[in-house]
Chain A
């Protein structure tokens, strides 16, 4: 029997989870925008817009301490962080583009090195996804193989219904457990129809063709025209649900301090700067090329997945109007024409 949850019960679910001691993270008003933040009560949840930053920070914090050190009387002690103290978390209201990303990142965080900071948060988090009834001109999830109704990555998935409430589906056991723990909050689904979902107004792109073009065009003149305007900030990478580069810094004094892991971005000029002073990605075009290559080629080569979920955040907030969809659409066309190197125009 399929289930549904009313708007009121959804908020009650948050209250209940919070009372049980779980950390509930969801979109919450922060000034003029919303951000995924811990909610203290059901009424904090704001679902009418895509949060400015992606939900990745529930698993991959902006900055976290990974060890601390102290020197006393000439002896240095190092203390590891106990990841077992990560709270049980429910991520609620994640859009398909945000819900799908952590699953894509599992591959890299459990590859040659198991990143327990990420993986423990993944194990302890249940994701409640939400279908999209609104899209804007920057959304392009359908172009990269997702959709406003995509359940990938969600443990529980909500689809808004006509006349209020949400249809609930539990694609994973985690989601089923969550529903089973609070049966009184879920009703049997009646005949209510789902609200029409929002299809972004973009073409579906052939990701294999794009990858094939990228395979053979590392030195294409396309790169030298496309990102001249790139200012070299990290806005795209930091808002992106799938970008996962980080830097590690020791901070504090020689006597006491912490080792911290924090977001980094391939757009930064210092990202690949060697200690010798040599920088293999010495100009911005090469850095932007890496962004595209990593998302649509390298990650596919290694893990068979694309590192972009089409949320459109980098398009909306690029200071200089760089449009990743326009770039891959152009590559898609060139791949289709199979003409090799591009024209240097975008």
Chain B
């Protein structure tokens, strides 16, 4: 944990929505086993992947996440029998929708990480972080946040530019 970190120009922000029973315990195991993984990931704990609403993922992107990870129990291991199986369908559908509106799916990762898979957690998080780092910041949703409808704008740089070009 105390090794010197490699310096990068861009440190992506990654939000991980995880279930408390498997992946959170898996991440905990990674920690207690003194495994290293990038500190770019912010972990949010949920009772079950079935509780993770697609709107949370959307919100994460809107609030500046460059990548999102959703992780829970392997099929058959769900503490609530089938929460993860419902989630599997929901996220399959949500991926299709995000792709259709033009979000690069490489920024969104789903995984099954059990309480015993500290190593897999490290691998998933590291891979995702490196992938997002290579992709650069997620600009689309952030750009939207700052946009106004024309009438609500007091000064518009785009318009000013258009004026200047006439």
Contacts and interface: CB of A to CB of B under 8 A. Distances in A.
B163 A21 contact: yes
Contacts, number: 45
Nearest to A84: B154
B101 interface: no
A23 interface: yes
A40 B162 contact: yes
Contact of A19 (B150, B151, B166): B166
A125 to B, nearest CB: 11
A250 interface: no
A83 B154 CA distance: 8
Contacts of A15: 166
A288 B47 CA distance: 45
A40 B163 contact: yes
A61 B148 CA distance: 10
A303 to B, nearest CB: 24
B156 interface: yes
B91 to A, nearest CB: 26
Interface string B127-166: 0000000000000000000001111101110010011001
Prevailing SS type, chain A contact patch: mixed
B166 A18 contact: yes
A87 B155 contact: yes
A65 B152 contact: yes
Interface string A60-77: 111111000000000000
A58 interface: yes
A82 B63 CA distance: 26
23 contacts: A18-B162, A18-B163, A18-B166, A38-B150, A38-B156, A38-B159, A40-B159, A40-B163, A40-B166, A41-B166, A57-B151, A60-B151, A61-B151, A61-B152, A62-B149, A62-B151, A62-B152, A63-B152, A64-B151, A65-B148, A85-B154, A85-B155, A87-B155
